[in-house]
A and B are shown apart, each in its own frame.
Chain A
Amino acid sequence: MIASVPIFWISIALPIVLGIAAWLSGDRWRRGYSYASALSLLIPLGIVAYLYASGAESLVDSIGFNLTSYRIGYMYLGVDGLSAPIVIALSIVTAFVSIYGLKYMGHRIEEMRSAGESPPDYGAYQFLYNVFAATMLGVAFATNLVEFYIFLEGTLISSFLLIMYYGYGERWKISMLYFVWTHIGAVTFLAGALYYGVVEGAFDYLVLSGTNLVPVGPATALGSMAVVVALLMFVGLAVKMALFGVHMWLPYAHAEAPTPISALLSPSLIGLAGYAMARFLVQYFPMIMESWRPFLMGLAFLTIVYAGLNALRQTDFKRLLAYSSVSQMGYMLLGIATLTQYGLVGSMLLYASHAVGKALLFMTAGVFIVEMHNLRDIGRMGGLARRYPLVAALALFGFMNLSGLPPALGFWSELFIVLGVVQTYAMNGLGYMIGMTALLMLALSVTAAYSFVTMRRIFYGQPRSDQGSAKEVIDPFKLSMLAIAILGFVLFIMVNPMISGVAAWLRLILGSGLGGVV
Chain B
Amino acid sequence: MIVSAPWYSWSSIWLVPFAAAAVMAVAWLLGVRRERFYGLMSVLSILAAAMVSTFALYNVLALHETIDAVSSWNWVSLNIGSGTSLAIGVGSYLDGLGAIMAVIVSWLSFLIAVYSLEYMKGDWGVQRYFFFITFFVGSMLLLVVAENLVLMFIGWEGTGLASYALIGHWYTDEEDKWVGVPGRKALGLPMYFEPSNSGVRALMFTRLGDVGFLVGMSVLFLVAHTFSIPGLAASAGSWMAYLANNDLLAAVLFIFTLGALAKSAQFPFHEWLVTAMTGPTPVSALIHAATMVKAGVYFVLRFAPIFFVGAVAAGVVAEAQSQVYFGIVAALAALTAFMMATMAVVSNEFKLILAYSTASQLGYMILAAAAGGLLVTQGSAALAAMDQGVFAGLAQLLSHAVFKAALFLIAGWALHVAESRFIDDMGNYAKYMKATAVAMWLSGLSLAAIPPLSGFFSKELVLESVAQSGYTVLYLVAVVTAFFTAAYTTRLAVRVFHLPPVHAHAEGHEGVHGPREAPSLMLGPYFLLALGALLLGIFWPIAGSKLSQGVYQTLSVLVRPEFMPAIDIATIAITSLLVVDILLVVAAYLRRVDFMSAVRSSRLLSGIHSFLFDRWYLNSIIYYAFVYSFIGLSLVLHVVDHGIDVFYHRLLPAFARGSSTGLRATFGGRTDYSLALYLSLTGVLVLLILMVWGVI
Whether A associates with B in a native complex is: yes
Is the Cβ of B84 less than 8 Å from the Cβ of A385?
no
Question: Which stretch (B48-56, B446-454, B463-471, B633-641) binds chain A?
Answer: B633-641
- The smallest beta-carbon distance between A170 and chain B, in angstroms, is 12
Q: Is A32 an interface residue (CB 8 A)?
A: no
Which residues of the other chain, B, contact A414 by a CB distance below 8 angstroms?
214
Across the interface, B168 reaches (CB within 8 A) one of A415, A419, A460, namely: A460
Q: With A310-B634, A411-B157, A512-B80 in contact, do A427 and B645 touch (Cβ < 8 Å)?
A: no
Q: Are the CB atoms of B637 and A309 closer together than 8 Å? A: yes
Do A460 and B196 touch across chains, with their CB atoms under 8 A apart? Answer: yes
A445 near B204 (CB under 8 angstroms)?
A: yes
Q: Say whether B247 contacts A418, CB under 8 Å.
A: no
CB of B246 within 8 A of CB of A427, answer yes
- Which residues on A sit within 8 Å (CB–CB) of B195? 460
Does A310 lie within 8 Å of B641, measured CB to CB?
yes
CB neighbours (8 Å) of B81 from chain A are 341, 507, 511-513
B80 & A496 in contact (Cβ 8 Å cutoff): no
Partner of B645, one of A248, A385, A411, A456: A248
Task: Report the minimal beta-carbon distance from B242 to chain A, rounded to whole angstroms.
Answer: 8
> Which of A433, A459, A504 is within 8 Å of B252, CB to CB?
A433
**How far does the alpha carbon of A310 sit from the alpha carbon of B631 in the complex, in Å?**
10
B218 at the interface (CB under 8 A from A): yes
Whether A177 is near chain B, meaning CB under 8 Å from some CB there, is yes
Residue contact A452 to B251, C-beta cutoff 8 Å: no
Q: Is A77 an interface residue (CB 8 A)?
A: no
A201 within 8 A of B: no
A422 touches B634 (CB 8 A): no
- A421-448 to B contact mask, C-beta < 8 Å, 1/0: 0110011011001101100110011101
- Interface residue? A169 (CB, 8 A): no
Chain B min CB distance to A502 (Å): 9
> Is the CB–CB distance between A459 and B171 below 8 Å?
yes
Is the C-beta of B418 less than 8 angstroms from some C-beta in chain A?
no
Does B580 interact with chain A (Cβ within 8 Å)? no
Instruction: Kindly report which residue of chain B lies nearest to residue A498, judged by CB atoms.
Output: B76
Residue from B128, B207, B635 whose CB has the most chain A CB atoms within 10 Å: B207
Instruction: State in angstroms the CA–CA spacing of A24 and B200 once bound together.
Output: 51
Docked complex: B67-92 residues within 8 A CB-CB of A = 74-82, 84, 86
Given known pairs A405-B157, A460-B168, the reply for A177 and B649 (CB within 8 Å) is yes
Q: How far is the CA of A1 from the CA of B335 in the complex (A)?
A: 64
A245: CB under 8 A from chain B? Answer: yes
A218 within 8 A of partner (CB): no
B523 interfacial contact with A, CB 8 Å: no
Beyond A441-B208, A496-B76, is A461–B172 a contact (Cβ under 8 Å)?
yes
B679 at the interface (CB under 8 A from A): no
- Check if A405 sits within 8 Å of B630, measured CB to CB: no
Q: Does B525 contact A (CB under 8 A)?
A: no
Q: Which residues of A contact B214 (CB under 8 A)?
A: 414-415, 418, 440
B424 within 8 A of A: no
A310 and B251 in contact, given A437-B215, A512-B84 (Cβ under 8 angstroms): no
B158 within 8 A of A: yes
Segment 66-82 of A: residues with Cβ below 8 Å from B? none
Contacts of A217 in B (CB 8 A): none
Q: Which of B75, B164, B218, B252 contacts A418 (CB 8 A)?
A: B218
With A248-B649, A440-B215 as contacts: A448 and B171 at CB distance below 8 Å: no
Whether A430 lies near B74 (C-beta < 8 A) is: no
With CB as the reference atom, state the residue of chain B lying closest to A486. Answer: B29
Chain B: minimal CB distance from A456 (Å): 5
Interface residues of B in 144-164 (CB under 8 A from A): 150, 153-154, 157-158, 160-161, 164
Q: Does A313 contact B (CB under 8 A)?
A: yes
Which residue of chain B has its CB nearest to the CB of A446? Answer: B630
- Shortest CB-to-CB span from B207 to chain A, Å, is 5
Q: How far is the CA of A92 from the CA of B644 in the complex (A)?
A: 35
- Give the residue of A313, A452, A462 whose beta carbon is less than 8 angstroms from that of B172: A462
Contact A452 B222 (CB under 8 A): no
> Quick check: is B211 within 8 A (CB to CB) of the other chain?
yes
Residues of B within 8 A of A507 (CB): 79-81
Contact indicator A445/B211 (Cβ below 8 Å): yes
B614-658 vs A, CB cutoff 8 Å, 1 = contact: the mask equals 000000000000000011011101100100110011000000000
| Residues A437 and B212 in contact in the complex (CB < 8 Å), given A461-B196, A495-B76, A512-B84 | yes
What B residues does A415 contact at CB under 8 A? 150, 153, 214
Contact of B203 among A341, A448, A462 (CB under 8 A): A448
| Interface contact B215-A511, CB-CB below 8 Å | no
Contacts of A511 in B (CB 8 A): 81-82
Least distance between A437 CB and chain B CB atoms (Å): 5
| B204 pairs with A449, CB closer than 8 A | yes
Bound-complex Cα distance A333 to B31 (A): 43
Q: Is the CB of A248 within 8 A of B78?
A: no
Q: Is B251 within 8 A of A430, CB to CB?
A: yes
Cβ-defined partner of A427 (8 Å) among B219, B630, B635: B219
Partner of B200, one of A426, A436, A453: A453
Q: Nearest-CB distance from A208 to chain B (Å)?
A: 23
A433-B248, A433-B251 as given contacts; A312 in contact with B634, CB under 8 Å = yes
Complex Cα distance A482/B69, Å?
35
- State in angstroms the CA–CA spacing of A446 and B29 once bound together: 32
Tell me the smallest distance from the CB of A360 to a CB of chain B, in Å: 16
Most buried by A among B74, B82, B158, B214: B214
Q: Provide the residues of chain A in CB contact with B635, threshold 8 Å.
A: 313
The interface centre, meaning the residue of B29, B154, B222, B255 with most chain A CB atoms within 10 A of its CB, is B222
**Across-interface contacts of B252 in A (CB, < 8 A):** 433
The answer on a CB contact under 8 Å between B219 and A422 is yes
Nearest-Cβ distance from residue B278 to partner chain A, whole angstroms: 12
What are 25 A-B residue pairs whose CB atoms fall within 8 Å in the complex? Answer: A248-B644, A248-B649, A306-B637, A310-B634, A310-B637, A312-B631, A312-B634, A341-B78, A345-B78, A385-B171, A419-B222, A426-B215, A426-B219, A427-B246, A430-B247, A433-B219, A452-B203, A455-B200, A459-B171, A460-B172, A462-B172, A495-B75, A503-B80, A512-B80, A516-B222
What 3 A-B pairs have minimum CB-CB distances, sorted nearest first? A460-B196, A309-B634, A460-B171
